[in-house]
Amino acid sequence: MTWHVLGAGSLGGLWAARLARAGLPVCLLLRDQRRLAQYLASGGLTLEQDGHTETFALPAQTLDDAAPIHRLLLATKAYDAVPAAAALSSRLSAGAEVILLQNGLGSQDEVAACLPQARCIFASSTEGAFRREDFRVVFAGEGHTWLGTAPPSPAPAWLDELALAGIPASWTGDILGRLWRKLALNCAINPLTVLHSCRNGGLQTHAEEVAALCAELVELLIACDQGDAAVDLQAEVERVIAATAANYSSMYQDVAAGRRTEIAYLLGHACREAARHRLELPRLQALALRLRAHLAARGLPQD
Ligand code: NAD
Ligand code: KPL
């Protein structure tokens, strides 16, 4: 069965190239004819990995092509996921499987609501990739991808195809826990790196601020019935800060490049859930206000 990939950017490109390299059928879904023409002119999708460069002349279609889709990897930013899914809805067969590769939380439920005919599979990835230019992806960091449904269901047989393609992935019965844990890490680290204008390691000099945020995030996770995701959160945040001390967080990089951030699906989701549970989390709320003001001052969207 063909792997349709919508979002031929960093992670989508990384998946598409590895699936194709393993001889599996892959088809890219591009926004419109102009984008398709650009792709064809580029000669294909190029992957840079471990000093090697390989180009894959994958077939591609525009979103409004008529061919049905049975398996889709949706690899857009969280704020683009719903419009992209809606544009494809009429092409998805009954029982189609859609893998949602978005960071944060909130977009997955929005997509699932707009694709009632599909089986939506949520993913949480720690792999790293970036686009050197259009249709040219650099594999920047090894990691792992967790996949699962909410509520839990049995693993699909195509998990073997991911193994064949060298995509490190596992099925989990607790994908929401994985997504919440990553969201909490991102909320404790990313906004502060933007506001203090520092690399992740720079937060070691703001340890009290990080610890206070972790305490509120633990309260939130417990209120959201995500107690497992709350275990030793502060210790893990400190470990990640130390292990990635030389890196700039993804949010820092987005702001520095003048790109829209995924704030609505990270800190924004945390604050919405806190309000829903009537939790007073003053540090988290103040952080969201400061971050939004910072984005507004730079002319960037606050959601
Ligand atoms: P990206 O911006 O590199 O790629 C997204 C792609 O989707 C772009 O090429 C964009 O043009 C395309 N797109 C958006 N709407 C579309 C539409 N309607 N039709 C066709 N194409 C459309 O983003 P990314 O870095 O790959 O991130 C995707 C998700 O994965 C994000 O939620 C991100 O937080 C998460 N993530 C990324 C990394 C990473 O290292 N890049 C790591 C972990 C998680
Ligand atoms: O995932 C990250 C990001 O930058 O988005 C880390 C490195 C964990 C920091 O939160």
Residue 75 maps to which CATH number? 3.40.50.720
239 shares a domain with 161:
no
Residue 303 domain flag: no
In this structure, are 118 and 16 located in the same domain? yes
Do residues 204 and 221 share a domain?
A: yes
Among 108, 139, 173, the domain-final residue is: 173
53 & 166 share domain: yes
Please tell me the residue having the least CA distance from ligand 2 atom 10: 186
Complete DSSP assignment for 6-52 = E--SHHHHHHHHHHHHTT--EEEEESSHHHHHHHHHHTSEEEEETTE
**Statement to judge: residues 204 and 100 lie in one domain:** no
Q: Which of 71, 182, 269, 292 is catalytic?
A: 182
Domain encompassing residue 84 = 3-173
Whether 68 is in a domain gets the answer: yes
Q: Is residue 302 part of a domain?
A: no
- Kindly report the CATH number assigned to the domain that includes residue 282: 1.10.1040.10
Domain's final residue, options 144, 173, 202: 173
Give the side-chain half-sphere CA count within 13 A for 77. Answer: 15
Nearest ligand to residue 28 Cα: 1
Distance, CA 11 to ligand 1 centroid (Å)?
A: 6
Domain count of the chain? Answer: 2
Answer whether 0.95 is exceeded by the pTM.
yes
Per-residue confidence in pLDDT tens, the chain, 303 aa: 999 999 999 999 999 999 999 999 999 999 999 999 999 999 999 999 999 999 999 999 999 999 999 999 999 999 999 999 999 999 999 999 999 999 999 999 999 999 999 999 999 999 999 999 999 999 999 999 999 999 999 999 999 999 999 999 999 999 999 999 999 999 999 999 999 999 999 999 999 999 999 999 999 999 999 999 999 999 999 999 999 999 999 999 999 999 999 999 999 999 999 999 999 999 999 999 999 999 999 999 999
**Position 275 in a domain:** yes
**Nearest ligand 2 atom, CA 248:** 4
Q: Which ligand is nearest to the CA of 16?
A: 1
Q: Is the CB of 187 under 6 A from ligand 2?
A: no
- 151 lies in the same domain as 289: no
Q: Are residues 11 and 148 in the same domain?
A: yes
Residue 292: inside a domain: yes
Cis peptide leading into residue 151 (ω within 30°): yes
Looking at the structure, tell me whether residues 47 and 165 fall in a common domain. Answer: yes
Q: What is the pLDDT of residue 268?
A: 97
- Do 143 and 220 share a domain, yes or no? no
Q: Which of 123, 139, 173 is the last residue of a domain?
A: 173
* Residue 296: exposure state from Cβ atoms within 10 A (0-12, 13-18, ≥19): exposed
- Ligand 1 atom nearest the C-alpha of 13 is 26
Which tokens go with 177?
A: 């826990």
Q: Are residues 48 and 15 in the same domain?
A: yes
The number of C-alpha atoms within 13 Å of 225 and in the hemisphere containing its C-beta is: 2
Instruction: Tally Cβ neighbours within 10 Å of residue 94.
Output: 9
266: three-class secondary structure by DSSP: coil
